Structure 1
Amino acid sequence: MKESLDAAYRLAESQGWVASRTQLTALGVTRWMVRDRLAKGAWVRWGVHTVGLRRGDLSGLGRLWRAVWESGRVSALDGVSALVVAGLTGFDVPEVHVSVPHGRAPRQVDGVRRHVVALRRPGELLGGGLPRTTTAVAVIRGAQWASSDRQAALLLVMSAQQRLLPLARMQDTLDTWRPHRRRALIRTVLNDVIDGAQALGELDVGALCRRHGLPAPHRQVVRRGPSGRIYLDLGWPDIGLFVEIDGIHHVFGDSVVVDALRQNSVVLSGGSVLRIPLLGLRLQESAFMGQVVTAYWMRSRRAA
């Protein structure tokens, strides 16, 4: 008995201090032993299949194991929850997301969001440890299941920034899986992330400005700075207004430092610089371009 309990405690410690009844039985802990410890308050019942081997609230890891066990044998962590296990940080996840294949009725579990998927494809699940989908699949599904386009785009960008997997693999998975929900948005954001410079080059700035009642701006405006020439994405030099559109590459390496020096140099010489993330144009074009319109007319009146 002691050996069985010692093994159960070692296993539970590695799983956030929870174990499934199936695991306990396999280790030689009988249901009578489980019932006795639950009755005495030494252990805690966290569902039909999940037992906590110490008192207190569930840990984050314990919540994940419980979500899988209580949702059914064929369930697996998916979407943003699988990404958290893969290393994603800084993304608020109030519920645990799990997926089950079509034809299996998922159980209702508090704190768990269940998603029925058409089928489990070969290689979709990782072997060993917490049952979960591969990171590439989790990124695409997490973007599909996000509560808004903004949250979906944020998840894609954060996964890229934190280098959870090669960007090309995200693209390959998107091409293979062909999701129905948000397919166009996911592809656009991934293209922006993978090749921000190309996306910026293909952006029709003239049409963008015309839609918002602005005259066509100059592209790649050249200014003189203390260290030589400064190139700005677009602007109206006659009124001293310039706009920088930042692709995802602007958050990597020393790009932030270079951008700040360039912007400060223009401002110190009397100009105005507005910064717009490329992602912002994809998601909130009207809001960002509204700021450009306001700045344009303010600078125009000042220059008159």
Structure 2
Amino acid sequence: MLAAGPAAILGGLTAAQSGGLRGFSDRVVHLLLPASCRRAPLPQGVLAHRTTQLSDRDVVAVAQPPRTVAARSIVDAAQWASSDEQARAIVAAAFQQRLVGGHDLHEVVDRMPRLRRRRLILATATDAAGGAHSCGELDFMRLVRRAGLPEPIRQKVRQDSAGRHRYLDAYFEEWQVHVEIDGGQHLDPAHAWADMKRQNDLWVEGDRVLRFPTWALRAHPDEVLAQLRAALRAAGWPG
């Protein structure tokens, strides 16, 4: 930042990580500068981005080093991401980790008419605000909509037999069909047993429970949809 000059602030993924975002290992230091700002050559590993849209509301009032606020940081991180998949993961993680919420990202996007990945960021933020907090859940929602199936409730709270709150990834409440999207953490034995106990509680109550690994949503979408349709029809969905 000293090399870039007094107008430079941390931006994008670097600012988001400084604000608490976890789970991303990008070692590039991202700086944000006004478009008219001149700067000296930067050290290796530092990347400067220029912008014409940077208001006081986009900058943390008191932060050292200076950085953009969470919503602006996430939007910039998503537009500067190396792939659409990484951009979606960043947005979903920000909601999951409670760094942003509601329409925070929409308000930032509305002020940035030339934003890269505009539609992707808005769609992901809308789904994440509605409760889909992982890329697997977002992929599942896209499949459901593309197939014309009824839309489930996301992250519905239920109580297990011990009275603890559990969050269901996707719940077709009218037909009592519950879908869990399993990421890599579900392969861990402790997680696996916790998942089994939760599933058993749901089965005892009468729900139909389907489980899909995240990779199957991309590799075998037709098989996933076929099983979901079969479960909904068996539960009384007219199709």
For the aligned pair, the TM-score class normalised by the smaller chain equals: 0.5 to 0.7
Match for residue 94 of structure 2 among 159, 174, 178: 159
SS of aligned partner of 2:98? coil
Partner of 1:275: 212
Q: How many residues align?
A: 192
Q: How far is 1:139 from its partner? A: 1.1
Superposed CA RMSD in Å reads 4.4
Partner of 1:148: 83
1:180 aligns with 2:119: no
SS of aligned partner of 2:61? coil
Instruction: Tell whether the 8 Å contact from 2:180 to 2:210 is kept in structure 1 after alignment.
Output: no
Q: What is the alpha-carbon distance in structure 2 between the residues aligned to residue 259 and residue 179 of structure 1?
A: 43
Q: How far is 1:99 from its partner? A: 1.1
Q: What is the alpha-carbon distance in structure 1 between the residues aligned to residue 57 and residue 95 of structure 2?
A: 22
Where does structure 1 lack aligned partners over 5 or more consecutive residues? Answer: 1-67, 210-215, 221-226, 235-241, 247-255, 297-304
Q: What is the alpha-carbon distance in structure 1 between the residues aligned to residue 112 and residue 103 of structure 2?
A: 14
Instruction: Tell whether the 8 Å contact from 2:217 to 2:224 is kept in structure 1 after alignment.
Output: no
Partner of 2:13: 80
1:15-30 residue pairs with structure 2 within 5 A?
A: none
SS of aligned partner of 1:90? coil
Match for residue 115 of structure 1 among 30, 49, 59: 49
% identity of equivalent residues: 26
Q: What is the alpha-carbon distance in structure 2 between the residues aligned to residue 245 and residue 289 of structure 1?
A: 15
Where does structure 2 lack aligned partners over 5 or more consecutive residues? Answer: 154-160, 162-169, 182-191, 229-239
Over 3 Å counting, the alpha-carbon distance change for 1:287 and 1:73 in structure 2 is: same
**Deviation by residue 1:212-266 (Cα, 9 ceiling, x = unmatched):** xxxx89x99xxxxxx8xxx9649xxxxxxx88265xxxxxxxxx99975464578
Q: What is the alpha-carbon distance in structure 2 between the residues aligned to residue 207 and residue 86 of structure 1?
A: 36
Instruction: Tell whether the 8 Å contact from 1:144 to 1:182 is kept in structure 2 after alignment.
Output: yes
SS of aligned partner of 2:58? coil
Amino acid at match of 2:88: A
Q: What is the alpha-carbon distance in structure 2 between the residues aligned to residue 138 and residue 206 of structure 1?
A: 29
Amino acid at match of 2:11: D
Amino acid at match of 2:110: D
Partner of 1:292: 224
Q: What is the alpha-carbon distance in structure 2 between the residues aligned to residue 264 and residue 195 of structure 1?
A: 26
Higher helix share: 1
SS of aligned partner of 1:192? helix
Over 3 Å counting, the alpha-carbon distance change for 1:139 and 1:262 in structure 2 is: same
Q: How far is 1:93 from its partner? A: 2.1
Q: What is the alpha-carbon distance in structure 1 between the residues aligned to residue 110 and residue 14 of structure 2?
A: 23
Q: What is the alpha-carbon distance in structure 1 between the residues aligned to residue 203 and residue 210 of structure 2?
A: 7
Over 3 Å counting, the alpha-carbon distance change for 1:264 and 1:95 in structure 2 is: same
SS of aligned partner of 2:121? helix
Q: How far is 1:140 from its partner? A: 0.7
Q: What is the alpha-carbon distance in structure 1 between the residues aligned to residue 53 and residue 19 of structure 2?
A: 22
Over 3 Å counting, the alpha-carbon distance change for 1:123 and 1:272 in structure 2 is: closer
Instruction: Tell whether the 8 Å contact from 1:80 to 1:97 is kept in structure 2 after alignment.
Output: yes
Q: Which has the larger Rg?
A: 1
> Which TM-score applies when normalising by structure 2?
0.61
**Deviation by residue 1:161-188 (Cα, 9 ceiling, x = unmatched):** 2212333322322233345211111111
**Deviation by residue 1:63-103 (Cα, 9 ceiling, x = unmatched):** xxxxx111222111001111111112222121111011112
Instruction: Tell whether the 8 Å contact from 1:233 to 1:245 is kept in structure 2 after alignment.
Output: no
Instruction: Tell whether the 8 Å contact from 1:267 to 1:273 is kept in structure 2 after alignment.
Output: no
Amino acid at match of 1:90: G
